[in-house]
Structure 1
């Protein structure tokens, strides 16, 4: 029988999902923190080729969840899909420790990720009864688990890889994935029961108004997906071209040592932990006053905010070049503070939006559709990053700012069009998983 008690004011299952996701993201971001440097310094790829490989891999890990979501919804079930996917990913991370297996290892990780990625977050909403007020902040908590792993990974895997050998860093990522699997398996009794995957011939077709609402929601989500694909072209440069710039053009001296470039990849996750509780408090206060902000308005602010971070960085580089000084590492900290604040307005909000509109029997498939945005965006980000060496850093980052602003304006247009077609109720306690559009 499933245990429905609470830990930390939330269902116990949320803690299990939180910790499982923490270690899965530790493995993913541990490998990612090393990947661009490993390709250029150990495998001696050109910058353009390394950028395309980086983007193609990042895209692949978000394409395979579409098949993984369907497989889980129709045959395997969520639990088996997560366990099989996690074990496959762990194998791929250990394979990364051997140079000849670099490309096969990435393929194995992508396949395992396809089973794992859509089936873990699709269980979050199922932990809560209808109308449970805690559900509004569930994805904020879950997203912090994502970023706890993202914070630890560059510090541990990045340090091992840069200072002691790339293969130690990749091996540590594999160990992290194994820890996540152990936690998930142990905590299975706290997780939602599997949905019935038998054919549902007796279901009644939706009434006319419901069909119209469903069509409107599908059109809206398709537009959101397009905007997020565009946004990710710029967003994903933080692990690609931005990482290269931080390695070569930034003064990283502090307290008599040179700060490893991979450490800066932890700043994004660190700020998620620092900023998220403040945002949740603010959003809940606004909701209590009846002034909850719709999700698509938040996503608009998020896209434009990331654009503002890139624009400020471009301006700073121009000033530095004109004055003849190198950009110091504290400016990277400031960049990631603004970048992360804006990110919290768009990415967890979008994930929560797709999860809240998912049909009960196709939750994983709907989540996989959200990750398809990441597939296309990451692929395009790698192709776009290939022009890095043909542009000045400030010119490239200004281009990224413009892409973010266009994405934000598209989200705003979708929001206004959707609101004109139908009235969407505002939730009582909005958060990153806000159901308002």
Structure 2
């Protein structure tokens, strides 16, 4: 019997299995996320339902002790922001546990099982907060260790690594594209709990793919090697870690503005967008959650063109540096929100805005994401000391923690602000982050860190 080739389409075979695993995990995550704010505002936090949730009154008391009295929408935004923030805090712990004790593979499996349990628990209203806790802990174990395995498929200096992360990012967004169409439609049209259960099934498929692809995944370090004393970090290592930490502060503001998509942008699509469709074959309203498929669809539609552009710029010696790409990413979110300022003006005049404003918003914001997010993952895999790779991948994900927490707080202003002023505020924050990262690049480039 002929041994199968270690490569597939010019990349290690393991990349295909990591791609599939991440695709279905993201299907489950974004399927649940597409429904979360609408589920709380339209059902769970209504007076007749909120007493069913164990611990909800205590959580409301905690939030109100900090932010004052909260109506249903601000409370939902705070829960949404806290949940999406904490799923990016726990990866620091998950990465540390994998690096020191369990290894990447075991930690990924534990995280995947916890997430599957959490999605199925979402179908039981009483267990809502416990389901969120299981998802938070599961994501913390899963996320940094699946991402770091992509980098370990390649030898140091392998030029395919950057392309691999872009391919991997397509897998993330393919799952995110399908999730609102499947889970969102089930949740909005049939019942919220059916949408959450579909997310759980997606997580089980991810586990099966990862298990099947185990022979082609990077080998774990021997236990003795893992437990051995590590070489002390060099001056360059500490300088790289310090630069990464400072950059995280600026990138957090990108995520604070970008992550309005599942929060206030979902509310805009639901309440201020003309969703009526009148076609020869079908008439009706487009489900609100379908708009959340636009961003991931555009990710895998635009990625080949962005990668080709960077390759062409590289041949000409004009490819932007890593940090300039990130600065442009923040600028894209700023411009996208300026488009929504115009949409708010139309809605104020006519009652409902055209859905094409949202198409334009998602197109610009998606380009911004492509310039920042996969570039950041590749950047961490390049500069992190090998002994701290998973933990520093988790530290990088802390930018999402801080950004999502801030996104929830910003979203709590939605119901009390003029919508044009709200989008202008978000654009201003993203624009300031763009300028800060650009200046950071000017300062660091002479030291050849990036």
* Secondary structure of residue in 2 paired with 1:42: helix
Matches within 5 A, 1:42-81: 42-44=43-45, 46-81=72-107
Aligned residue number for residue 114 of structure 1: 140
Unaligned runs of 5+ in 2: 47-71
User: In the alignment, which of 321, 341, 350 is matched to residue 294 of structure 1?
Assistant: 321
1:411, CA displacement in angstroms? 0.6
Determine the C-alpha separation between the residues in 1 that align with 2:127 and 2:347. 42
Determine if the alignment matches structure 1 residue 91 to structure 2 residue 114: no
CA distance in 2, matches of 1:288, 1:191: 32
Correspondence list, 1:243-322, <5 A = 243-255=266-278, 256-322=283-349
C-alpha distance after superposition, 1:4-23 (max 9, x if no partner) = 61112211011111000000
Which residue does the alignment assign to 1:423?
448
- Relative to structure 1, is the Cα distance of residues 195 and 360 closer, same or farther in structure 2, using a 3 angstrom cutoff? farther
1:357-395 alpha-carbon deviations (Å, 9 max, x no partner): 122122110110011111111111101111111101111
Moved more, 283-292 or 48-57: 283-292
| TM-superposed deviation, 1:44 | 2.5
Q: Distance in 1 between matches of 2:386 and 2:373?
A: 22
> Conserved in 2, the CA contact under 8 Å of 1:33 and 1:158?
yes
Contact 2:339 2:357 (C-alpha < 8 Å) held by counterparts: no
2:268 corresponds to 1:241: no
User: CA separation in 2, counterparts of 1:423 and 1:198?
Assistant: 31
Q: Give the match for residue 397 of structure 1.
A: 423
Are residues 1:217 and 2:240 paired?
A: yes
**Residue 103 of structure 1, aligned match among 129, 146, 157:** 129
Q: In structure 2, how many angstroms separate the alpha carbons of the residues matched to 1:329 and 1:408?
A: 27
Contact map agreement 1:195 1:361 (CA 8 A) in 2 = no
Residue by residue over 1:63-82, the C-alpha shift from the partner in whole angstroms, topping out at 9 and shown as x without a partner, is: 11111111111010000000
* TM-score scaled by length of structure 1: 0.92
Alignment of 1:162-201 (within 5 A): 162-196=188-222, 197-201=225-229
Of 283-292 and 376-385, the range deviating more from structure 2: 283-292
Q: CA deviation at 1:319?
A: 4.2
Q: Which residue of 2 aligns with 1:367?
A: 393
Cα deviation, residue 132, structure 1? 2.2
Contact 2:230 2:387 in 1 (8 A): no
Deviation at 1:201, TM superposition (A): 3.6
Unpaired runs of 5+ in structure 1? 425-436
Q: SS state of the match for residue 94, structure 1?
A: helix
Query: Superposition pairs for residues 1-40 of structure 1, below 5 Å?
Result: 5-40=6-41
* Cα drift, residue 233 of structure 1: 1.3
Cα RMSD between the aligned structures? 1.5
Instruction: Give the secondary structure class of the aligned counterpart of 2:317.
Output: coil
Question: Is the Cα–Cα contact under 8 Å of residues 3 and 189 in structure 1 kept in the other structure?
Answer: no
Mapped contact 1:56–1:382 kept (Cα < 8 A)? yes
Deviation at 1:219, TM superposition (A): 2.5
Shift of residue 224, structure 1, vs aligned partner: 1.1
In structure 1, distance between residues paired with 2:157 and 2:376:
21
Alpha-carbon distance change, 360 to 202 in structure 1, aligned in 2, over 3 angstroms? closer
Normalised by the size of structure 2, how large is the TM-score? 0.90
